[in-house]
Amino acid sequence: MATESANGVSSPELNERDVVITTNDNRNFTVKIGVARVSKTINNMIQDLGESLDLSSGIPLPNVDGPIFEKVLEWCEEHKNAPEIKVEQDPHTRERKWFTMTEWEEEYFRKFLSHLWDLAMAANYLEIPSLYYYTCQKLAERIKGRTPEQIREMFGIEDDLTEEEKAEIRRTNVWCTY
């Protein structure tokens, strides 16, 4: 968390103040600065503006729409005091470990399952590492361990490969399944 003061007010006090954030569909959200700061993008804006920050005129977010930002805010509210997320390695396989989620987070993703990719886009733009990593993992979970047919069926993907091409891919990828 940033400790330097913006707008001439020390950080803890500032965190309690409200800031207006405007999404690209012109919806205004009044958010506590402490919550908004979970997003590094917004945090940077607040810091860069510093003295000139006018809390009431609002911060524009041209790449996020209202319904999604609402969901993101829910995440920020829960994670405003959460420590920075760490990417860990499994000491045995040396592969990146899959994150373990709290019950709240599981529930959150269950609730917004159909918006996962909007969330991933928003989290990427807003630089919220926890939300970004977890959403991506949730999406990966849906691909994991499924056959190409199941995945195509699941996401309604058109099969544009010929049988020969598929055989070729299988042949060149034999080592992957080793």
Partner 1 sequence: MEDMQNDSVDISFNSSELSCLRLETPKSSQEDLANSHKRKSSSTADSHDYKRKFTSVTLSPIDDDIFDIPQEEESIASSSEDTSPISLHRETSVKLNEWLDTFKVMSSSQQYDALNELISTCSLPHIRFMRAVIEPLLRRDFISLLPKEISLYILSFLSPSDLSNAAQICHYWKKLAEDTKLWKQKCQNLGLKEMFPPSFRRYGGWESSPLPTVVMDLSTESTSIAKLNKAPLPNSCYCRCKYKALYLRHTRVMSNWKNRRFTATCQLRGHDEHCLHKMVKLFAQEQRTELFVFGVLIRVNYFIVYMVTRAQCDAWLCTKIFGHTSLTSGMQLLDNILVSANADSTIKVWDISTGHCIHTLDGHDSAVTSLQFIHGSFICDLVKLPSSGAGGCVWRLKATPTMLVCAVGSRYGTEDTKLILLECDAPYP
Measured from the CB of residue 93, what is the shortest distance to partner 1 in angstroms? Answer: 9
Q: Does 1 bind partner 1 (CB under 8 A)?
A: no
From the CB of 161, what's the least distance to partner 1, in Å? Answer: 6
Q: What angle do CA 74, 31, 81 make, to 5 degrees?
A: 60
Looking from the CA of 41 toward its CB, the CA atoms found within 13 Å total 16
Residue 75 vs residues 130, 140, 174: alpha-carbon distances, Å: 9, 20, 41
| Min dist. Cβ of residue 21 to partner 1 (A) | 15
How many amino acids of this chain bind partner 1 (CB under 8 A)?
A: 56
Nearer Cβ to partner 1 (33/126): 126
Task: Report angle CA 68, 150, 94 to the nearest 5 degrees.
Answer: 75
Contact between 31 and 77 (Cβ < 8 Å): no
Piece of 12-20, 51-59, 74-82, 169-177 that binds partner 1 (CB under 8 A): 169-177
86 near partner 1, rule: CB under 8 A: no
| Site map (CB under 8 A) of partner 1, residues 90-119, x = contact | --x-xxx-x-----------xxxxxxxxx-
* 12-20, 29-37, 53-61, 168-176 -> range binding partner 1 (CB under 8 A): 168-176
What strands, in cross-sheet order, belong to the sheet with 18-23?
28-32, 18-23, 59-61
d(CA 55, CA 30): 10
**Half-sphere exposure of residue 156: CA atoms within 13 angstroms, side-chain side:** 0
Residues that bind partner 1 (CB under 8 A): 24-25, 65-67, 89, 92, 94-96, 98, 110-118, 120-121, 124, 132, 136-137, 139-148, 151-161, 166, 169-170, 172-173, 175-178
